[in-house]
Amino acid sequence: MLYPWQTEDWQQLMALRDRLPHALLLHGQQGIGKRDLALHFAQALLCDTPLADGQPCGACAACHWFSQGNHPDFTVVRPEAMEGAESDAEGKADDGGSSGKKKAPSKIIRMEQVRALIEAVGIGTHRSGLRPVVIYPLDALQHEGANALLKTLEEPPPATVFLLVTDRIDRILPTILSRCRQVALRRPSQPAALEWLRAQGVADAPAQLAQAGGAPLTALHAAEAEELPLQRWLVDQLAAGPSLDALAAAEQLQKLPVPSVLGILQRWTYDLLALCLGGGGGARYFPGETAALQRCVAVTDAHRLQAFAARLVQHRRHEQHPLAARLVMEAVLMDYRQLFQRQPA
């Protein structure tokens, strides 16, 4: 499907249709629909009777196979954890075939998946057309898998089109970047994003969109998430500044994923810095909390905030594999509280 704000992005892809590169890298902010656009484009490449603007008809045999997830010439590669989440979202039961303890699904794209992909694209297409391969998020590839994929990109199989998707282009190997046609996708305008969110029934759409940094899908998922009350509680704790009880807060926040906690902390710290440094921009992510942000800014300084922001970046590099989530939260929240402690003369 295409979102209302993706018309220009679609036209950008259609301009490449006649001389299609063997690998397209779709990148941009998280939560703007990059993955859905890649899947829609893949369906269009397989469609027997595309519409005048190049979109898939949705009615031909190829489109039916695609929508059912069994088109013989389409391959998608993603972490097992995403497969499970998407199956749950579609209302499908996950029958692991065993009532025993199950291994947690992987959050990375495993080497075995890359090997299976390379083997699959080494076989000719079933319908004598194109074979689109969607890989997302590309930054979930580990070093070994990225090198294996690189060899395939260097010598792409006939009729194969790789559609690679990432929020973090800075984490992609330069050698892979050099073998892809990069397509930067646009963030929707605020009016377009708000109109869409309201149509989805999101309450307080402006606040949700601001906290999501202007990304409507991120805002929608946050509004629907069971963790939303706890996320709001965390914001209230951060607003307490020097009065924050870091250990008690970490205890309460154990039900939240570490990436979610670190993401909120990063956005809150960004707004603290924005107000501390001035410039008239105001709070970007938490405009409704401006008074609390200003109270916090009054008892810290830009130097400490910048150092804390840098430490958050370090934490985020390992956020998917914390040895002890609660200890990570305790350490980060205690570090945050130190921002407001009086410094020795």
Length of the chain, in residues = 345
Token pair recorded at residue 17:
């249709």
Token pair recorded at residue 191:
């009016």
The average confidence (pLDDT) of the chain is: 90
Q: What is the C-alpha to C-alpha distance for residues 143 and 172, in angstroms, rounded to an integer? A: 10
Q: For residue 282, what pLDDT band results from cuts at 50, 70 and 90?
A: confident
In DSSP notation, 127-176 reads SSS-EEEEE--GGGB-HHHHHHHHHHHHSPPTTEEEEEEES-GGGS-HHH
pLDDT mean over 51-61: 97
- Candidates 55, 77, 60; CA nearest to 9 is 55
Token pair recorded at residue 18:
């006649």
pLDDT tens figures, 308-341: 999 999 988 878 676 688 898 999 999 999 999 8
Q: What is the C-alpha to C-alpha distance for residues 251 and 333, in angstroms, rounded to an integer? A: 11
Q: Residue 104: is it exposed, middle or buried by C-beta count within 10 angstroms (0-12/13-18/19+)?
A: exposed
Q: For residue 254, what pLDDT band results from cuts at 50, 70 and 90?
A: confident
Q: For residue 89, what pLDDT band results from cuts at 50, 70 and 90?
A: very low
Q: What is the pTM of this model?
A: 0.81
pLDDT tens figures, 139-160: 999 889 999 999 999 999 999 9
For position 95, what pLDDT does the model report? 42
Is the model's pLDDT at 285 over the cut of 60? yes
For residue 292, the number of C-alpha atoms closer than 13 Å in the C-beta half-sphere is: 16
For position 93, what pLDDT does the model report? 37
pLDDT mean over 77-85: 82
For position 201, what pLDDT does the model report? 94
For position 200, what pLDDT does the model report? 94
In DSSP notation, 40-56 reads HHHHHHH-SS--TTS--
Q: What is the C-alpha to C-alpha distance for residues 91 and 322, in angstroms, rounded to an integer? A: 30
Q: Which of 8-17, 29-38, 219-228, 333-342 has the lowest mean pLDDT?
A: 219-228
% of the chain residues with pLDDT over 70: 92
Q: What is the C-alpha to C-alpha distance for residues 152 and 191, in angstroms, rounded to an integer? A: 42
Q: For residue 106, what pLDDT band results from cuts at 50, 70 and 90?
A: confident
For position 97, what pLDDT does the model report? 43
pLDDT tens figures, 120-146: 998 888 888 899 999 999 999 988 999
Q: For residue 343, what pLDDT band results from cuts at 50, 70 and 90?
A: low
For position 90, what pLDDT does the model report? 44
Sign of torsion over alpha carbons 267, 300, 279, 292: positive
pLDDT mean over 237-247: 94
